[in-house]
């Protein structure tokens, strides 16, 4: 009986370790520490994270299910490849999901929710978007605060599935933001003003304006990431599709 209990504790610890590893590897993939398409060798990952191969395989399998990792020949793993088509697809779905979730949040959010959104916005405005220590890269603290702001915006949404999907899509879009920051860092947009417009509409409980501002914000990120020529054509198509959700 004692042996069985110890064995069960070991399995729980292993699952916990796999969960932690899933978060760590996902974070490193998003931050482009592991570039798109690069092989994820177990021996190298084992040395980097100081863990065994069993929890590593479990973590990589989980990441494959969420689209961050690809299984190669049923044996190895590599980082999911990136493409303009995928980013545009992510954004197209994201505009529908986040607009619907934001509309629901505005309908159900209370004063505590408003306070949470304002606090997250305030924290975001105090951080520079770019990393002063590593030119041409995102500031990790800004990225955390940016995710917190968007999470706070939707937090009063009553649909668990909308929130789950929004969180997953936001993580995938963040990977592209890290990959393409060198394309969007030149002063071609005012991200702070975009966030401010979303916040103002939310506090005014203007769901139409808030959703439209959010959709424009997401589409602008994609358009600048893939380039003006591709982005303009795709944004027009996406905006027409996203309009019903944004205006709902």
Q: What is the set of domains in the chain, with CATH numbers?
A: 2-79 (1.10.10.10), 84-247 (1.20.120.530)
pLDDT at residue 17, rounded to an integer: 86
pTM summary value: 0.78
pLDDT at residue 181, rounded to an integer: 75
Closest CA to 79 of 57, 60, 95: 60
pLDDT at residue 182, rounded to an integer: 62
pLDDT tens string for the chain (248 positions)?
333 323 333 444 555 888 999 999 999 999 889 999 999 999 999 999 999 999 999 999 999 999 999 998 867 999 999 999 999 999 999 999 999 999 999 999 999 999 999 999 999 999 988 888 877 778 889 999 999 999 999 999 999 999 999 999 999 999 998 887 765 545 567 889 999 999 999 999 999 999 999 999 999 888 887 763 333 333 333 333 333 333 33
Task: Please state, in angstroms and rounded to a whole number, the distance separating the CA atoms of residues 141 and 119.
Answer: 15
Residue given tokens 């309908």 in the structure block: 107
Antiparallel, parallel or unpaired: β 76-79 and 69-72: antiparallel
pLDDT at residue 224, rounded to an integer: 81
pLDDT at residue 2, rounded to an integer: 35
Pair 149, 126: CB distance under 8 Å: no
């Amino acid at each position: 009986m004692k042996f069985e209990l110890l064995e069960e504790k070991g399995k729980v610890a292993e699952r916990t370790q796999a969960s932690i590893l899933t978060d760590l590897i996902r974070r490193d993939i998003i931050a482009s520490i592991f570039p798109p398409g690069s092989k994820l060798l177990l021996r190298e990952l084992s040395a980097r994270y100081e863990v065994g191969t069993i929890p590593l395989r479990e973590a990589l399998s989980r990441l494959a299910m969420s689209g961050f990792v690809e299984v190669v020949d049923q044996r190895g793993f590599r980082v999911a490849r990136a493409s303009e088509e995928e980013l545009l697809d992510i954004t197209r779905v994201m505009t529908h999901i986040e607009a619907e979730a934001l509309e629901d949040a505005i309908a159900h959010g209370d004063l505590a929710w408003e306070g949470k959104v304002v606090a997250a916005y305030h924290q975001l405005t105090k951080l520079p978007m770019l990393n002063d220590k590593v030119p041409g890269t995102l500031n990790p603290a800004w990225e955390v605060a940016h995710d917190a702001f968007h999470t706070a915006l939707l937090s009063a949404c009553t649909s668990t599935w909308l929130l789950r999907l929004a969180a997953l899509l936001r993580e995938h879009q963040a990977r592209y933001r890290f990959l393409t920051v060198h394309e969007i860092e030149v002063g071609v947009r005012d991200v702070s003003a975009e966030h401010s417009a979303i916040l103002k509409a939310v506090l005014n409980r203007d769901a139409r304006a808030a959703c439209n501002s959010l959709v424009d914000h997401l589409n602008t990120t994609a358009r600048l990431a893939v380039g003006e020529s591709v982005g303009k054509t795709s944004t027009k198509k996406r905006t027409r599709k996203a309009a019903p959700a944004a205006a709902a």
